[in-house]
Amino acid sequence: MFILKILVRNAFRHKLRTFLTILGITVAILAFGLLRTFINAWYGGVEASSASRLITRNSLSLIFFLPLSYKDKIRQVDGVKTVSWGNWFGGIYVDEKHFFANFAVDAKSYLDLYPEYILTPEEETAFLRDRKGFVAGRKLAKRFGWKIGDTVTLRGTIYPGNWDFVLRGIYRGRDESIDETQFFFHWDYLNESLKKTTPSRADQVGWYMVGVSHPDLTPEVSLAIDRLFKNSIAETLTETEKAFQLSFIAMSEAILIAIELVSFVVIIIIIAVVANTMSMTYRERIGEYAIFKTLGYRGWRIAGMILGESMVITGIGSFWGILLTFPVARYAGKILSNYFPVFKVPAEAIYMEIVASFIVGILAAIVPTWRAIRIRIADGLRRID
Amino acid sequence: MGIPLSYSFRNLWTRRLTTVLTALGMALVVFVFSAMLMLAEGLRKTLVETGSSDNVVIIRKSSATEVQSGVDRYQASIVETQPEIAIGQDGMPLLAKEMVVIISLSRRDNGGEGYITTRGIGKSSIHLRPQVRLVEGRLPNPGSHEILVGKSVAERFKGAGLGETLRFGMREWKVVGIFDAGNTGFKSEIWGDADQLMQTFRRIVYSSILFKLRDPSRFEEVKRRIESDPRLTLEAKRENQYYAEQSKMMVTFLRILGTSLTIIFSLGAIIGAMITMYAAVSTRTAEIGTMRALGFKRLSILTAFLFEALLLGLIGGCMGLFFASFLRFLTVSTMNFQTFSELVFDFILTFDIAWKALSFSLIMGFVGGVLPAVRAARMNIIESLRST
């Protein structure tokens, strides 16, 4: 306890400098935590994916369709429980700035396959009964102030024209990791309209979602599905929902790596700042250290004092930084909600912040500690700064 | 004035460790700052150079990209007869009816997926894009299963090198040529015969029509005619405009990211500079008193310390810029979610960026140094002389 008191007293001998250093550490640790949260948000969809769902898509790429007739063939594969399908609609609400994901799905099977989207039974029946109905996530409905029964018009980019939908349900996510900003409607509405306007584009499915009876069966089932359509005009690629999501993230990994690097740069910056403070502290107290040595204190005791002081300063700064991470992340999440539907501080971000603060505290004290250990008493007493 | 300045300069040298540490903090901030600017510049340059303002892209109304668009043959033949279209050396209009799809290829390095724009080209497609240049092999024969591959695709994707074959759409496609397209987006594309590719992908419509204007100033005229023709459901855009719109989201994203990172990081560095300068002032109280006693004005003291802070910032700025200049050797490839395909661009260092980065470092030095310098200038002679 006595030692701690000395360390804290020493740390606050230069109030202004210590205050500035602490402020710097707080900002840096906060920035570090936010960047980690940001990286985590990219992986948001992966976390929410289920192990027993497969995605079947055209092996050429996602922009190519699969025939609707595949649904019955996929259903016949051993181990397949549910088959649902959907198309990316890519509609625009008002203008491009109001972007959100919107797609057409086979409603009944989709809701069966995705129990994490929770609708009340009344809403579900209302949605299933109305072919022009749609369901929106809680956050999306809140963002535009939509209420049940409202008509929403989307301008199609892939499917031309203005499309009217009626809001029949607002879903909630089962937990925080579920995206609550989606918009989905009846695939039949899209398909029947296409049959009238452009029959050549009807009965085409963007991707199939396949529910497997047991997670262990996914490798065999996905191989079996792809084997069915080998050497056909529309070959398929089936993978787990997780692999599907990860393949998207991998495509923009350059940006992720850059952000990751930058998050470490901020730590290096703060190490430089704290190391600077510590080396100045050391320089001012050379005389004192020499006196300590004269009194018979060993080098490691003095080293401990410097290291301890560095840890006290970083500790206080990091504490505030970690504490501030939560409110600031919540605020940032609100701003970025269009880009990242799920933006919350993950536990590992906090662990990394703690580890980072220890590293800062130790590395910043290395040079002054090393010098203090090596200082010769006569030199220390002679030197005036 | 000379003495306070050289005094400041020599102080930085005497306290080397502190100087280096403070400058290092600033250097890293300048590094991040200029890296972001270089990235944005690279992206901008790629977009600007990809399109030409003499060319016009025709796509279906309200489709944002070529991939979403569809132009049927009847509509294409109407567009083909517009009088504003330039005529090539062979007497044919400089116009290409193209088909654009995206296919997935696996990467050479880790087998990961990449979405590559694949363009079915017409006879004039290459003439319409002067940036595109054949570097290896030959042009594909029209009507054959031969493809031309952009340089960055050939380097990075399996089966896309010269002489190799790619398999898609139940056919083998032989790579007969590699093309370079400077800083444009075309170097991450695959080109093949439009009719063959349409057959392969079971497409009955073109994606877009590209043509060169006889006179660039007549764009508005042709745009109005095409967009008001009741037989057409098309819209016309200048090519450079079209490409700029395609990566609006990306540019905005990078700008927001860059700005917020720089602001947060510069806070840290400014604090570092402040600590250093406050320490510089407090350890030299007696020296400041001496200088004042010798007759140096408050203003000289203020200038000396500000100069010291600015010098510190400049050192950091030069260091940061030096490291950032090595980024020019890096190429970034990432997914553009607006077009759903790969976009490749480089870091580009311009004089403008170097200038911005250095002035940014000076600003950081100034902000960090101004309060300590004011404190130094306001010191009382007697009291400061008394302190040891």
- Express each pLDDT in A118-165 by its tens digit: 999 999 999 999 999 999 999 899 999 999 999 999 999 889 889 999
If you measure CA to CA, which chain B residue comes closest to A200?
B204
Backbone angles phi, psi at B369, to 5 degrees: -95, -15
Residue pairs spanning A and B at CB distance below 8 A: 147
What would the mean pLDDT of A378-383 be, rounded to a whole number? 74
If you measure CA to CA, which chain A residue comes closest to B334?
A252
The terminus-to-terminus CA distance of chain A in angstroms comes to 32
Domain boundaries, chain A: 2-44+253-382, 60-234
Q: Report DSSP state, residue A130.
A: -
Q: What is the pLDDT of residues B7-66, one digit of tens each?
A: 888 888 887 888 888 888 889 889 988 988 898 888 888 877 888 889 999 999 888 888
Q: How confident is the model at residue B135 (pLDDT cuts 50, 70, 90)?
A: very high
Q: Are A216 and A13 in contact (CB under 8 A)?
A: no
B191 falls within a domain: yes
**Final residue of a structural domain among B184, B199, B232:** B232
Q: How confident is the model at residue A11 (pLDDT cuts 50, 70, 90)?
A: confident
Task: Label residue B137 left, alpha or beta by phi (over 0 means left) and psi (-120 to 50 means alpha).
Answer: left
Selected residue of A37, A96, A251, A385 to mutate for chain B interface (largest B Cβ count, 10 A) = A251
Whether pTM > 0.80 for this model: the answer is yes
Would you state the pLDDT for residue A1? 64
If you measure CA to CA, which chain A residue comes closest to B69?
A158
B325 falls within a domain: yes
Q: Are residues B129 and B93 located together in one domain of the fold?
A: yes
Helix (H, G, I), strand (E, B) or coil at A249: helix
pLDDT over 50 (residue B380): yes
Which residues of chain B are within 8 Å of residue A253 when distances are taken between CB atoms? 112, 334
pLDDT over 60 (residue B335): yes
Pairing of strands B341-346, B331-336: antiparallel
Would you state the pLDDT for residue A376? 80
What would the mean pLDDT of B156-169 be, rounded to a whole number? 90
Nearest to B112 by CA among A128, A256, A288: A256
Q: Are residues B190 and B288 located together in one domain of the fold?
A: no
* Most confident by average pLDDT, A290-299, A343-352, B339-348: A343-352
Would you state the pLDDT for residue A385? 47
Average pLDDT of the residues of chain A:
89
A347 touches chain B (CB under 8 A): no
Nearest to A313 by CA among A37, A28, A115: A28
If you measure CA to CA, which chain B residue comes closest to A255?
B334
What stretch of H or E contains A84?
strand A80-88
pLDDT over 80 (residue A332): yes
**Number of other CB atoms surrounding residue B350 within 10 Å:** 12
The answer to whether ipTM exceeds 0.85 is no
Would you state the pLDDT for residue A344? 84
Task: State the Cα–Cα distance between residues B168 and A228, nearest whole angstrom.
Answer: 18
Q: Are residues B25 and B77 located together in one domain of the fold?
A: no
pLDDT over 70 (residue B117): yes
B267 falls within a domain: yes
Q: Please identify among residues 90-129 of chain B the ones whose CB lies closer than 8 Å to any CB of chain A.
A: 101-104, 112-115
Q: Please identify among residues 62-81 of chain A the ones whose CB lies closer than 8 Å to any CB of chain B.
A: 62-64
Q: Are residues B30 and B118 located together in one domain of the fold?
A: no
If you measure CA to CA, which chain A residue comes closest to B101?
A63
Q: Are residues B134 and B190 located together in one domain of the fold?
A: yes
Q: Are residues B44 and B68 located together in one domain of the fold?
A: no
Q: Please identify among residues 175-194 of chain B the ones whose CB lies closer than 8 Å to any CB of chain A.
A: none
Would you state the pLDDT for residue B388? 57
B169 touches chain A (CB under 8 A): yes
What would the mean pLDDT of A291-313 be, rounded to a whole number? 87
Three-state SS annotation for chain B: CHHHHHHHHHHHHHCHHHHHHHHHHHHHHHHHHHHHHHHHHHHHHHHHHHCCCCEEEEEECCCCCCCCCCECHHHHHHHHCCCCECECCCCCECEEEEEEEEEEEEECCCCCEEEEEEEEECCCHHHHCCCCEEEEECCCCCCCCEEEEEHHHHHHECCCCCCCEEEECCEEEEEEEEEECCCCHHHHEEEEEHHHHHHHCCCCCECEEEEEECCHHHHHHHHHHHHHCCCCCEEEEEHHHHHHHHCHHHHHHHHHHHHHHHHHHHHHHHHHHHHHHHHHHHHCHHHHHHHHHHCCCHHHHHHHHHHHHHHHHHHHHHHHHHHHHHHHHCEEEEEECCCCEEEEEECCCCHHHHHHHHHHHHHHHHHHHHHHHHHHHCCCHHHHHHCC
What would the mean pLDDT of B236-252 be, rounded to a whole number? 85
B254 falls within a domain: yes
Q: What is the pLDDT of residues A41-72, one digit of tens each?
A: 888 778 778 888 999 999 888 889 999 999 99
Angle in degrees, 0-180, between the axes of helices B16-50 and B2-14, rounded to the nearest 10? 90
The least confident of A165-179, A369-383, B114-128, B302-316 is: A369-383
Q: Are residues B139 and B30 located together in one domain of the fold?
A: no
Task: State the Cα–Cα distance between residues B51 and B91, nearest whole angstrom.
Answer: 24
**Structural domains in chain B (count):** 2
Q: Give the amino acid at B61.
A: K
Q: Are residues B129 and B181 located together in one domain of the fold?
A: yes
Nearest to B60 among A59, A160, A265 (CB): A160
What would the mean pLDDT of A230-235 be, rounded to a whole number? 88
Q: Are residues B102 and B173 located together in one domain of the fold?
A: yes
What would the mean pLDDT of B143-148 be, rounded to a whole number? 92
Nearest to A252 among B28, B278, B334 (CB): B334
Range of the domain at B144: 62-232
pLDDT over 70 (residue B1): no
The least confident of A149-163, A216-230, B281-295 is: B281-295
**Final residue of a structural domain among B207, B232, B257:** B232
Q: Are residues B16 and B151 located together in one domain of the fold?
A: no
* Most confident by average pLDDT, A99-103, A119-123, B6-10, B113-117: A119-123
Distances (CA, A) of A203 to A130, A190, A200: 20, 10, 8
Q: What is the pLDDT of residues B214-241, one digit of tens each?
A: 999 999 999 999 999 999 989 999 998 8
Would you state the pLDDT for residue A277? 87
Pairing of strands B133-137, B146-150: unpaired
Task: State the Cα–Cα distance between residues B137 and B190, nearest whole angstrom.
Answer: 14
B336 falls within a domain: yes
pLDDT over 60 (residue A102): yes
**Final residue of a structural domain among B232, B266, B291:** B232
